Structure 1
């Protein structure tokens, strides 16, 4: 493979296959790997460098981290700290970046956390707590678990409960996360083959934090974001309900609820949210935009023209309104009117020629005898207009 130029996607797939091969080898030969760590890591590095000679240092180190986690996760010796030190030393010997120790510390800490050793997991993880929201909740969980041991007979939910030192540290860290607001899944070391244990910890600490600090919006925002990222529909609904209950006048939660209603084909529910947004944010264009979008989906002329009039009155950019006019005619099977509007749009806004060419191609699919092709064209049109218009509205801010 030397000299071969690989796209990022192909490289990622081939790396994944190599990782899978090593995972299988580690599982079948755990004891052999444990007693021959230098030989095993030498074999890993040799395979990595011969197959991917131009691999970026960061990706290279991340691969070593993932192998290290698998070694620790498969071994029966992780209760022996001398063994852990040997694994770390062998992994660090081959890593390239200056911050190589950080990745190994996180990997070791996560393995200890997975095995229930919160005391030693803290040693490796606590200084990285604010690098990632999920890692931060994992560190807070370590403190929280240790706090339950401080007062075994004391229910932390009872009114007479007084938090001990470990619980105070957990609370302090969760509040620190709300102030620094680290992103989710920033670290590749968190991309585990089986992230179930980390997910459970994340959800547990978000709910515990909401009991401690019920008015902290960041916990609900982050819970909702993680639910969307992981495709957890149950948690998404739960956090949308929490947001609607505790932060009922917040545009972010109302926006998320609107899209949730659309996905679940609840047009009446989405219309109710649009009306609420119009009352609460009379000076914003976004509620009107969401109303226009809803009227495209429901294909009701009276509703569409009502929102169109409101959009013009409130100063929505004319090219966005005219683009909606074209889309509404096309979705209403008014092919001639749609073609005329697109031609007028093209003349008036020549700077968007790159986009109108795509729209013209999509419009042609709407007269296809193939129903599946029409459905795909409809979805592509709606998604495309949504992305284009939101970008244009953000420019106006």
Structure 2
């Protein structure tokens, strides 16, 4: 009989439960774990292999990395560098991938960083600084904190006018990150038990980087990406304010501000961003598209037809205009006109018949008497039209 393989989702959940069990054991028996590291790691490997015989090498190694961080995080001996070395040796010898040391070094470096041992943390982390922006800012933070120790308190004024070696290294690394632009939150080793300290460090160095290099837009860009991933509206708003003030001619930040205004139901604010984009990029179709999208939410016919006329003048693709006509008629409760629009769309673009069929189903839900169903359908239509239109505009360039 063939052994049944579990789905990825079930494996993930069961791995998480096993990890929690080990975390609890480590917290209750930290001293015992420290004195029996080979035995403990052997027990971890045995439980992992018996419970998950088909686990991938990547997931296997990531599990060991997470256990390694927890062992260090719970130990009273983390300031003993010989103990840290023993933990690393025991963790590495059980891992499967060729770059086994990388993950272990990162989690050890993060633990040393968390405990305030910035010098030793650098020994483990600095060679991996450009693998992930959050890891890179952590390394820059180590340099930055060590720079504060280069001058005595009485020399604080001198330090401001003459950065020390460590501060120069911090600045150099922040500029290297801006130049190479590594992703953020891509390393699984950053998903540690309590990532809040790493999050605080990231934001501190992003804003420090903006103080050092006020015209470096990447700090705002990567900050916005992290704010979106971590669902941090406060930081998102703060960065958008900085971006719109310092890079007010940049379409990317204006686009981000537009969507932020929409999400917060600030129609006048979104309209202001659209007007600014129209002035700065008069030959670009995207500002017109954003204006049309805004009118779907306000359903003001005069404004819609004004943008529509401008769209025709600037050569907006017919299929986009037809879709907007369809959506606007639906949102304005003009069901007959909406039906005519979708029929015209299907006739004009026969290859898109499948999409027209989907739109008809969505339309039937929008005009439903069930308010919840109608609301969800409107959101679905907006998302669908946006995906189609943005792709069509991209292909036109």
TM-score, length-normalised on structure 1?
0.96
Cα distance between partner residues in 1 of 2:3 and 2:315: 56
Q: Give the 3 Å change call, closer, same or farther, for CA 366–15 of structure 1 in structure 2.
A: same
Alignment of structure 1 residues 302-321 onto 2, 5 Å:
302-321=302-321
Secondary structure of residue in 2 paired with 1:214: coil
Instruction: Say how many residue pairs are matched.
Output: 397
Correspondence for 1:107: 107
* 2:287 is aligned with 1:287: yes
* 2:186 is aligned with 1:175: no
Q: Determine if contact 1:224/1:239 at 8 Å carries over to the other structure.
A: yes
Correspondence for 1:210: 210
* 2:147 is aligned with 1:140: no
* 2:150 is aligned with 1:150: yes
Residue 230 of structure 1 and its aligned partner are, at CA, apart by 1.2
Q: Determine if contact 1:156/1:163 at 8 Å carries over to the other structure.
A: no
| CA deviation vs aligned residue, 1:102-155 (integer Å, no higher than 9, x gap) | 000000000000000000000000000111111111000100101000013267
Cα distance between partner residues in 1 of 2:382 and 2:118: 49
Residue 193 of structure 1 and its aligned partner are, at CA, apart by 2.3
Cα distance between partner residues in 2 of 1:257 and 1:22: 44
Q: Give the 3 Å change call, closer, same or farther, for CA 20–352 of structure 1 in structure 2.
A: farther
TM-score, length-normalised on structure 2?
0.96
Correspondence for 1:358: 358
* 2:42 is aligned with 1:42: yes
Secondary structure of residue in 1 paired with 2:148: helix
Cα distance between partner residues in 2 of 1:351 and 1:28: 64
Q: Give the 3 Å change call, closer, same or farther, for CA 160–168 of structure 1 in structure 2.
A: closer
| CA deviation vs aligned residue, 1:153-183 (integer Å, no higher than 9, x gap) | 2676889521011111111111111110111
Residue 4 of structure 1 and its aligned partner are, at CA, apart by 2.6
| CA deviation vs aligned residue, 1:337-392 (integer Å, no higher than 9, x gap) | 21222122123223323322322211111232211111111111112211222122
Correspondence for 1:129: 129
Alignment of structure 1 residues 14-53 onto 2, 5 Å:
14-53=14-53
Q: Give the 3 Å change call, closer, same or farther, for CA 283–21 of structure 1 in structure 2.
A: same
| CA deviation vs aligned residue, 1:80-109 (integer Å, no higher than 9, x gap) | 112111111111111111111100000000
Cα distance between partner residues in 2 of 1:183 and 1:310: 38
Residue 9 of structure 1 and its aligned partner are, at CA, apart by 2.5
Residue 259 of structure 1 and its aligned partner are, at CA, apart by 0.6
Correspondence for 2:367: 367
Q: Give the 3 Å change call, closer, same or farther, for CA 261–157 of structure 1 in structure 2.
A: farther
Secondary structure of residue in 2 paired with 1:26: helix
Q: Determine if contact 1:2/1:50 at 8 Å carries over to the other structure.
A: no
Residue 45 of structure 1 and its aligned partner are, at CA, apart by 1.5
Cα distance between partner residues in 2 of 1:155 and 1:324: 64
Q: Give the 3 Å change call, closer, same or farther, for CA 10–156 of structure 1 in structure 2.
A: farther
Q: Give the 3 Å change call, closer, same or farther, for CA 288–45 of structure 1 in structure 2.
A: same
Aligned-pair Cα RMSD in Å: 1.7
Residue 26 of structure 1 and its aligned partner are, at CA, apart by 1.3
Correspondence for 1:391: 391
Cα distance between partner residues in 1 of 2:56 and 2:194: 25
Cα distance between partner residues in 2 of 1:6 and 1:353: 39
Correspondence for 2:164: 164
Cα distance between partner residues in 2 of 1:2 and 1:77: 46
Correspondence for 1:322: 322
Correspondence for 1:272: 272
Residue 302 of structure 1 and its aligned partner are, at CA, apart by 1.1
Q: Give the 3 Å change call, closer, same or farther, for CA 310–10 of structure 1 in structure 2.
A: farther
Q: Determine if contact 1:346/1:356 at 8 Å carries over to the other structure.
A: yes
| CA deviation vs aligned residue, 1:290-312 (integer Å, no higher than 9, x gap) | 00100011111111111112112
Cα distance between partner residues in 1 of 2:369 and 2:124: 62
In structure 1, the gaps of 5 or more residues are none
In structure 2, the gaps of 5 or more residues are none
